[in-house]
Amino acid sequence: MIDFQTDPSRYKHWKLAFDGPIATLSMDVDPDAPLLEGYELKLNSYDLGVDIELADAVQRLRFEHPEIRTVILRSAKENVFCAGANIRMLGKASHGHKVNFCKFTNETRLAIEDASAHSGQRYLAAISGSAAGGGYELAEAADRIILVDDRRSTVSLPELPLLAVLPGTGGLTRLTDKRKVRRDLADVFCTTEEGVRGKRAVDWRLVDEVVPPSAWDARVRECALEMAAGSDRPGGPGIVLPPLKRTISETEITYRHVRVRLLRAERRAEIGIAGPVACGAIDATFWPLAMARELDDALMHLRLNEPTLGSIVFRTEGDPAQVLAVEALMDKHRNHWLVREIRLYLKRVFKRVDMMARSIFTLIEPGSCFAGSLAELVFAADRAIMFSGKRAGDNRNPATLQLAAANFGAYPMGNDLTRLQNRFFGEPDSLKRAEATIGQSLTADEAEALGLVTFAYDDVDWDDEVRLVLEERASFSPDSLTGLEANLRFAGPETMETRIFGRLTAWQNWIFQRPNAVGDAGSLKRYGSGQRPNFSTERV
């Protein structure tokens, strides 16, 4: 089982140091501590285990260190910044593991960029030595890249000439969309094994600055302080993110607020979320933060450890009024740094839902609490089905759906639209009608009339209709469903983020299955053997 829980005391590959408003996150990969057996992590190359630690460090820097305004990414090893994704790992990994590895590293780098854009915590990549492939892609996630001008240190994206694959963590897209590298120069860069150094790297916009070795350490600190000067991070104490309390069995994963049922025969996972019972203090136990951490962990467990459970069904249980009370408390304190971080984390978790290669259904039943932030799970679903009226013998109130102001701006998708804007793309009047209901308890019939749910069924039809839709889904080709859902979930404009994931799905997913890359005579299998790969010359 791949476990996504860790903390700095357990890191094997990263070191954190603090100096006033600056944190230094040093990559020092232990070659003898891979996540899986059968390869060494030489030259600061990384696998999923290295990136799990990086994701944890990025998260803790945001919540536990409000005093940190600039994070320096650098290497603790001589003559190498990072050699990128470990090639032996890629050669041995299953197709699904490779794709999910790329997806997770993308999400981690996007979290770095989210911290820069919204948390006042900016990143500086200080490259000394070779930054190749995923190593340069990590640097691209930073706000600024500085390179030591020592005639050895280079940046490169050599995946195509070396491995017959593409940069898997957004490298190509960030070259053009973020760093504004000219297309023809990007073409040269990505087909050159040895990389680019010195003044040419600056001229091509691959890095922002080159610094002589004699001034290196001083300039790194000076640049970090310059970046810190414009931050609104408040300083003061942060909150410690405690270990999640979690129980895992063959059929269930149980947290405090989240419960996952693993229905293997039906190839389905059911995620139940318990709503808050009171607002509570705004600390690590605050319901939105605690629930988000548990849901995030559950999603990652399903993604990497349960690939055959092709559908996810969301349910909730609790008092909608309590959810809305929590929303009101967050609205009241929305300018506080911690509330901001909680909202931003919820946004990232809901984006993780959007990016799950699973069919997503949300069932709104009597006793549920789909209100405010939890209503995002209704709009993230491929289909949302709502119970109309009361169930015979059930004393609970009829199901309701309640919107809050947060549904109209706090949790944008990767395409920079809210889920309601995405749902009603091209229907501005429908969006206005939905916004006019903020704070109202919508019945099933009202929600269906407003277009907020797919179908509403009463007690007579509910069980059969829900069973049929889930059974039908399980009968379809999982590959076709993944393509269908990825196409339909994101309407409207493209962003750098949607292009990164769209290109990963369409191109890298395909290339990872082609014999030129993964066949017995392909680049990933023959790398380091002394044998040249044998490419099929057909263009497809």
| Domains of the chain from N-terminus onward | 10-228 (3.90.226.10), 247-488 (3.90.226.10)
Is the pLDDT reported for residue 509 higher than 90?
no
141 Cβ contact list (under 8 Å, min separation 6) = 109, 110, 112, 113, 123, 125, 170, 174
Kind of pairing between the strands at 22-27 and 14-19: antiparallel
Question: By three-state DSSP, how is residue 400 classified?
Answer: coil
Q: In the prediction, which pLDDT does 433 show?
A: 98
Average model confidence (pLDDT) across the chain: 96
Neighbours of 154 (CB within 10 A): 21
CA max distance for the chain: 79
- Give the residue carrying structure tokens 């080159």: 210
Q: What is the mean pLDDT of residues 144-156?
A: 97
Which pLDDT band holds residue 19 (cuts at 50, 70, 90)?
A: very high
Neighbours of 86 (CB within 10 A): 26
Kind of pairing between the strands at 268-274 and 22-27: unpaired
Neighbours of 520 (CB within 10 A): 8
Q: How far apart are CA 275 and CA 374, in angstroms?
A: 9
Which pLDDT band holds residue 540 (cuts at 50, 70, 90)?
A: confident
Is the pLDDT reported for residue 505 higher than 80?
no
Is the pLDDT reported for residue 393 higher than 90?
no
Q: What is the CA radius of gyration of the chain?
A: 24
DSSP-H helix ranges across 143-277? 159-163, 171-173, 183-190, 198-203, 216-228
Which pLDDT band holds residue 438 (cuts at 50, 70, 90)?
A: very high
Per this entry, what is the length of the chain? 540
Which pLDDT band holds residue 169 (cuts at 50, 70, 90)?
A: confident
Q: What does pTM read for this prediction?
A: 0.96
Q: In the prediction, which pLDDT does 392 show?
A: 86
357 Cβ contact list (under 8 Å, min separation 6) = 303, 482, 485, 486
CB 415 within 8 A of CB 498: yes
Q: What is the mean pLDDT of residues 457-471?
A: 97
Helices (H) and strands (E) in the chain, counts: 22, 19
Q: In the prediction, which pLDDT does 512 show?
A: 87
Q: How far apart are CA 490 and CA 100, in angstroms?
A: 19
Is the pLDDT reported for residue 368 higher than 90?
yes
Is the pLDDT reported for residue 319 higher than 90?
yes
pLDDT digits (tens, 9 = 90+) for 336-351: 999 999 999 999 999 9
Is the pLDDT reported for residue 70 higher than 90?
yes
Q: How far apart are CA 154 and CA 141, in angstroms?
A: 17
Backbone angles phi, psi at 205, to 5 degrees: 70, 20
Q: In the prediction, which pLDDT does 265 show?
A: 96
Which pLDDT band holds residue 256 (cuts at 50, 70, 90)?
A: very high
Q: How far apart are CA 258 and CA 229, in angstroms?
A: 40
Q: How far apart are CA 498 and CA 486, in angstroms?
A: 10
Is the pLDDT reported for residue 453 higher than 80?
yes
